[in-house]
């Protein structure tokens, strides 16, 4: 199950929307705990949204017909703010109408139940390939954010990122090139008190590592990359 290819997922996090009462969820939970760095479980809409916002997972796996969550609406809401996160769905043939409503939202894998070990291995292979490709982000021509290397690479030199700078850019690119002040305060400084001057100082410093005019201020909202 875990080979050199899927070991890259050991640095990734997963949001698993699951129902403990069915065999598919049991198989997923048992196998995936050996693959991902961490797995966050949600069994209702509020938990799923809070986990997504606070933990910024790399992947989501959900049953399209989960009883406590309107998964179709949840996926639509996620895609409005995050075009990068990989989403996999399990379904039964009775759920085909729901599947047709979400295929346009870039679903990485759709698997018919009951899930088998072969299905799970295929899912992890898909996740791995796309995860590897998505670890580098274009900022501007000849400028890239190398997430794995904690680095901004320009045409003539590169810049090492602090953990906070890396988190800032990771959230920004996972959220369709925009990050809000609220997200910065909650995710970059967690629960510590932070004032506007500290944020402005942080932005001033990270702009020195970015191409000119790449990071734009969105008044009253936050910042975005002009890529």
pLDDT for 1-32, tens place per residue?
Answer: 455 456 678 778 899 987 655 555 666 777 88
Distance CA 215, CA 108 (A): 30
pLDDT higher for 112 or 12? 112
Q: What pLDDT, on the 0 to 100 scale, is given for residue 133?
A: 57
Q: What pLDDT, on the 0 to 100 scale, is given for residue 94?
A: 87
The CATH topology of domain 136-225 is Arc Repressor Mutant, subunit A (1.10.10)
Q: What pLDDT, on the 0 to 100 scale, is given for residue 54?
A: 81
Q: Has domain 6-133 been given CATH number 1.10.287.10?
A: no
pLDDT higher for 7 or 162? 162
Average pLDDT, the chain: 84
Percent of the chain clearing pLDDT 90 (strictly above):
24
pLDDT for 179-211, tens place per residue?
Answer: 888 888 887 886 567 888 889 999 999 999 999
Greatest Cα-to-Cα distance within the chain, rounded to the nearest angstrom: 56
pLDDT for 115-148, tens place per residue?
Answer: 888 898 899 988 887 776 557 788 888 898 888 7
Those residues with Cβ within 8 angstroms of residue 224's Cβ, 6 or more apart along the chain or in another chain = 172, 177, 178, 179, 215, 216, 218
Residue 75 burial (C-beta neighbours within 10 Å; 0-12, 13-18, 19+): buried
Domain ranges of the chain: 6-133, 136-225
Handedness of CA 53, 57, 63, 66 (dihedral sign): negative
Distance CA 183, CA 160 (A): 23
């Amino acid at each position: 199950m875990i080979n050199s290819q899927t070991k890259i997922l050991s640095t990734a996090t997963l949001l698993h929307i699951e129902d403990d009462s069915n065999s598919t969820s049991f198989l997923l939970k048992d196998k995936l705990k050996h693959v991902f760095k961490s797995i966050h479980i949600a069994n209702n809409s509020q938990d799923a949204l809070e986990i997504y916002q606070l933990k910024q997972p790399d992947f989501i796996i959900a049953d399209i017909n989960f009883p406590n969550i309107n998964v179709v609406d949840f996926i639509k809401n996620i895609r409005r703010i995050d075009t990068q996160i990989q989403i996999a769905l399990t379904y039964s043939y009775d759920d085909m109408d729901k599947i047709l409503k979400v295929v346009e939202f870039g679903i990485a894998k759709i698997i018919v139940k009951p899930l088998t070990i072969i299905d799970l291995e295929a899912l992890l292979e898909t996740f791995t390939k796309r995860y590897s490709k998505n670890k580098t982000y274009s900022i501007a021509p000849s400028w890239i954010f190398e997430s794995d290397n904690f680095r901004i690479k320009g045409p003539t030199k590169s810049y090492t990122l602090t953990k906070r700078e890396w988190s800032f850019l990771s959230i920004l690119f996972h959220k369709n090139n925009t990050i809000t002040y609220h997200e910065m305060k909650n995710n970059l400084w967690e629960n510590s008190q932070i004032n506007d001057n500290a944020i402005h100082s942080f932005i001033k410093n990270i702009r020195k590592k970015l191409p000119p005019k790449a990071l734009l201020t969105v008044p009253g909202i936050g910042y975005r990359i002009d890529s």
